[in-house]
Every structure is written in structure tokens, then in C-alpha cells.
Amino acid sequence: MKELSHFLNGAYVKGSSGRFADVFNPATGETQAQCPMASVDETTQAIADAAAAQPAWAATNPQKRARVMMAMVGLMNRDMDKLAEALSREHGKTIPDAKGDLQRGLEVIEYCIGAPQMLKGEYTDDAGPGIDMYSMRQPLGVVGSIMPFNFPAMMPLWHVGPALACGNAVVLKPSERDPSVPLMLAELFVEAGLPAGVFQVVNGDKEAVDTILDSDIIQGVSFVGSTPIAQYIYSRATATGKRAQCFGGAKNHMIIMPDADIDQAADALIGAGFGAAGERCMAISVAVPVGEETADRLIEALVPRVEKLRVAPYTDGDDVDYGPVVTRDAKERILGLINSGVEQGAKLVVDNRDFSLQGYENGFFVGPHLFDNVTTDMDIYTKEIFGPVLSVVRAPTYEAALGMAMDHEYGNGTAIYTRDGDTARDFAHRINIGMVGINVPIPVPLAYHTFGGWKKSVFGDLNQHGPDSFKFYTRTKTVTSRWPSGIKEGGEFNFKAMD
């Protein structure tokens, strides 16, 4: 059995706690590795070593830090196939999905090459007689990053990249379900020129997380995961004076107007709803057609597309639509919610509850499911399923459809499909959701814009990547300066003495 390690002070280090978590092969259900769970002492030491390495890194000028980012881009491109295979092996997503995971993380590292521009302060000459004012952005110090299983490359890079570019040291706690890629990325950062100790990877569970949250050294914490855990981490981190950004759950609606291209909308829903087995915080899990005719046409278009989806291990080639979910517990939770939808009266139009893949009967595969006539009081509507399940909720009017999305407790992403510019503009302006797509199903902003939701999808004032990330990982210091040109006489400056 393969035993994984932590990555500390520039090298792989075996765990010493004696506690391990199983890392599964999601396609077979077999344990393929064991991940060490760090103790309080191990985590505390990793934080202390990061604190020792951070001042020299902060004193490195932004151009040189940017060159590390530039080198990292080249190394990730060099190792893209190896990284993607390792990601797919532990997570279960297809190779194209894995490469997309890596690419979206890589784009943030590319953005961080512009750190010198992002870290520039402001300057005011002659703010008063002989007085100048200027501001500077300085790193927080040591920050913690607690990341989810569903994007084991993208999510760490979204946080670690800007944090490092700003001059911080980072202690990363990746998901214990698929930890290999974060460890590989840490190794690549060292190869790119990052000093040892500036980026520490500590595998662990709640014990390691709470140690990060309670540490007096850690100055800021980033988290991505479920809303209950996001609330917990935000509350505990801020209670000890830390800056925190915590991103939680989602329930993303796509509104389909009567004038929409139904085939285009159906194709978008297939990719947005079922890609990566639905294990995405930006997945579209609710389709809201406006009007019965629109709904009937949408269902007619969706059914054959859902039925044709190919579910298989990533090793079966690039024509696989999606693979297994990450664990057996995840599979059972998803099937439980599907059963609740049937029990509560929704129409299960495509039913794959008995899905089984020959030769992979013990794998964590969930077939694609399509519900119609879902109502807003059903569990499959109110809860984040995080699986390959699409619910169609019929709305009589545009206002009713808009109200569904606005009234839901989550506010991560949303989309509308329409040919009408007035409707699209109204939707974009009125919707109380952080990321909006107009004829775009998954409106994930590019790296130079900010990513983040509203309502119970986020806790904290600043979002991920883009300009917000540089604001989050730095503090602003403002200096007011005067240089008298005289000599002291009686404790006062004589400005004419030097004339």
C-alpha cells in the first residue's frame, strides 16, 4: 500500500502521528494509498517553519517573486499529462476534465506574473507644505489554505498563487481524498525557485484545520467547501482576529426563456449539469423553463441527451462524459436525495438508480438522472446534491423564474438563455447572485476578474483571484513624510537656516 507524505521545508516528509485516511480509486472502490493525518504538533511545527521562511520571501522584490510564477507556468505545462493522470486517478474525473482543472489554476498563476503591477501603492506629492503621502501593500505573513476535493489543482492554485506572489508563506491543508496533486504542485514551486518552507503542505483532518484556525501565527485563512463548514471556519478564524474568506455551497439556476434556442440550452445543461459528475460548485443543477410549452420542448430535447451520456473510468478514453463520484458516502448521499425526490412527488424522467458498470461494480458510479415537475419545497431543490442530477422546475412567468433564484439561500452562480437583450439586461441587474451567465451556462470569470458568490455561498468581504486576491493577501500601509531642510534651534526646525 502506497503511503503518502506531507511536503515540508522543500521536501517530502512522512507523517508521524500514526493516523491515516484511505485514498480510494473511485472507479473500483479499492484503497490505493494512505494519507497521513497530521497531529497538532506536526501542524504547529509546519506553521512555525513557514513563519521562519516568510520574512526573506517578503523581502524578495515583486519582480523576482513574479519570475517564480513564470517558471511555475512552464513547469506545469511540461508536466500537464502527469499531473492530469494523478488527478484523475484519485478524484475520478476524466482526463479532459482534469486538464481543465489544472488549466484554470494555471491561468491564475499566469495572472500572478503581474504581481509588481498589482502591488503598486499610491503617491501624493505635496499633500501639505513639504509633506508627501504614499501607500504600500505588504503581505499578511503566514496564511492558511483549506481546500476541497472537487478541484484538487485549481482551488489550491487560486489561493496559493496570489498569496505567494504577495510575499506570504502558505500552509495548505488539501483534501485527504485526493492529496497527491497538491503535493506535486508544491514540489514544482520549489523547482520554480520558491524558497523551502514558504509553501508547506500538511495533510490532515479537523485536528490540523483547528490548529491552523487557532494559531497566533496564521494571519489569514481561505476555505472552499460546504456552507456549514464555511460558517464554522469563518467564525473560528475571525474570532481569533484572522482575515478570512470562506466559500460554501451552491444551487445554480438556469432560466430558459420561450425565445431561447432550445437545442443550445439543452446542450449547455448537459455539460453544466453532468460534467465532472456534477461535483462542481458552479454546476447547473436547476433548469427553470418559462411556460409549459418551453418546458415540454426542453424535456424533449434533454431526455435523449441524458440517456446518451457515457459514464466510465477515465482510463476508457477521452469520449467518456464523466466518471465516478469521489467516495462511496458521496454516492449513497446522492442516491438518497434522488429517492427523496421520487417520494416527494417529482417525476424522475431518466432513472439510473440501478446503474452498474460491468467490471466496476464496486466503483462509486452514479448514472445520470433527470427530474421534471420539481417544486421549491423538495429536498432535491433546496439542498446541494453535488452529483449528476438535473432538476427541471417549471415557471409560469419570467418574474416567477427570477424569484426562484433570488429566494434561494445560495447565490453562487446563475444563467439565463434568451435572445432578448432587454430581458438579459434586466436579469443581470436584478439578480442577487454573484456570477451571472447570459447564454453562458457556467459563468466562471477568467483569472483577471474576481470569482465569488453572494448570500450563504460566501463568508467574507473579498473574493477569489483577480484584484480581490491581492487585496485579501496584503495590508495597506500609508506613510506621511516630511523632510525638513533646516537645523534644530531650541528644539524647532529653522527652515531658513539653510538658505
What positions carry a catalytic annotation?
281
How many other C-beta atoms lie within 10 A of the C-beta of residue 228?
11
Helix (H, G, I), strand (E, B) or coil at 405: helix
Strand partners, 20: 36
Q: Which residues of 120-136 are buried (b: 16+ CB within 10 A; e: fewer)?
A: eeeeeeeeeeeeeeeee
From the list 245, 257, 326, the residue with the least C-alpha distance to 288 is: 257
CB neighbour class for 146 (10 Å; exposed up to 12, middle 13-18, buried from 19): buried
Task: Let me know how long the chain is.
Answer: 499
Helix (H, G, I), strand (E, B) or coil at 321: coil
236 φ, ψ to 5°? -70, -40
Using alpha carbons, list the distances in angstroms from residue 277 to 36, 111, 224, 271, 364. 27, 29, 18, 10, 11
How many other C-beta atoms lie within 10 A of the C-beta of residue 280?
23
In single-letter form, the type of residue at position 384 comes to E
Round to whole Å and give the CA distance between 75 and 59. 25
Beta strands in 248-358 (DSSP E): 252-256, 284-289, 347-350
Contact between 4 and 90 (Cβ < 8 Å) = no
Contact between 413 and 437 (Cβ < 8 Å) = yes
Concatenating the DSSP letter of every residue in 84-99 gives HHHHHHHH---HHHHH
For strand 347-350 and strand 369-372, is the pairing parallel, antiparallel, or unpaired? antiparallel
From the list 457, 87, 94, the residue with the least C-alpha distance to 282 is: 457
From the list 183, 111, 98, the residue with the least C-alpha distance to 147 is: 183
Which residue bears the cell 528644539?
491
264-270 contacts at long range (C-beta below 8 A, 24 or more positions apart): 264/417, 264/439, 265/298, 265/301, 265/417, 266/298, 266/301, 266/302, 266/305, 267/305, 268/415, 268/417, 268/441, 269/302, 269/390, 269/441, 270/302, 270/305, 270/306, 270/309
CA angle 298, 301, 303 (to 5 degrees): 105
Which residue bears the cell 483571484?
465
